[in-house]
Amino acid sequence: MAEEVKLYGTWSSPFSRRIELALKLKGVPFEYIEEDLSNKSPELLKYNPVHKKIPVLVHNSKPIAESQVILEYIDEIWNNNPILPQDPYQRAMARFWAKFIDEKALATRMKANFAEGKERELVTEEFFQQMKFLENELNGKDFFGGETIGFVDIVAIVVAIWFPLTQEVLGVETFTEEKFPVLFKWIRKITEIDVVNECRPPREKHLAYVKARIEGLKSASK
């Protein structure tokens, strides 16, 4: 029976891009539909009525939403090139760090980017602590997944690509190789992988997009 796999996403979203990466890693053919978030399609609203967000994977007409839920689903349906480990403890650890990145690191990073004065100092310190925790998790391995990229690596691409890019736009230097040599070594390794680069937003377009968004957020808060 022919599989029908559709991905509703946006080119600039790390959550959407991580699904593309997982599908490509497993060699799963899929149809990609670019969503305009200012004008969401009836399909998106039908497939994700609860959150109305991307990414949404539709497999043989059945929708799955929330990027980490989608990643686990993909791993269970297509079990070549596994993303999650087999061992229950290792799986729990992978889920823990993925959750940490999406729920803590991202939020702290956002706050640190836009806070001022004393608050900025405090939040930046919190960000450093979080990045140290993440860095320690690499513990001599090439990737969080070990010798090949896994669940945490795929989720952490937001740290590898989006964090440095936003920093470049903002003209700050908080997330540096000097402070996080092990993490930056991982960033170099992961961004050398072909399929990772196939799934990242094109640099100039991405820079322009982030610049525009930051300008927009800055003028909105005035």
Partner 1 sequence: MADEVILLDFWASMFGIRVRIALAEKGVKYEYKEQDLFNKSPLLLRMNPVHKKIPVLIHNGKSVCESSIIVQYIDEVWKDKAPLLPYDPYQRAQARFWVDFIDKKMYDTSRKTWATKGEEQEAAKKEFIEVLKTLGGELGDKPFFGGDNFGYVDLCLIPYYCWFYSYETFGKFSVEAECPKFIAWVTRCLQRETVAKALPDEKKVFEFVSVLREKIRVE
Q: Identify residues 28-57 at the interface with partner 1 (CB under 8 A).
A: 50
Place of tokens 């940490």: 100
Residue 99 or 141: the one with the smaller Cβ distance to partner 1 is 99
Local structure of residue 83 (DSSP, 8 states): S
Residue 90 or 167: the one with the smaller Cβ distance to partner 1 is 90
Question: Applying CB under 8 A, which part among 67-75, 157-165, 171-179, 196-204 lies near partner 1?
Answer: 67-75
Q: How far apart are CA 173 and CA 22, in angstroms?
A: 31
Residue 89 or 204: the one with the smaller Cβ distance to partner 1 is 89
2 burial type by CB count under 10 A (0-12 exposed, 13-18 middle, 19+ buried): exposed
Question: Applying CB under 8 A, which part among 10-18, 68-76, 116-124, 141-149 lies near partner 1?
Answer: 68-76
Say whether residue 64 binds partner 1 (CB under 8 A).
Answer: yes
85 burial type by CB count under 10 A (0-12 exposed, 13-18 middle, 19+ buried): middle
Q: How far apart are CA 83 and CA 151, in angstroms?
A: 5
Residues forming contacts to partner 1 in the complex (CB under 8 A) are 50, 59, 62, 64-66, 68-70, 72-73, 76-77, 88-89, 91-92, 95-96, 99-100, 133
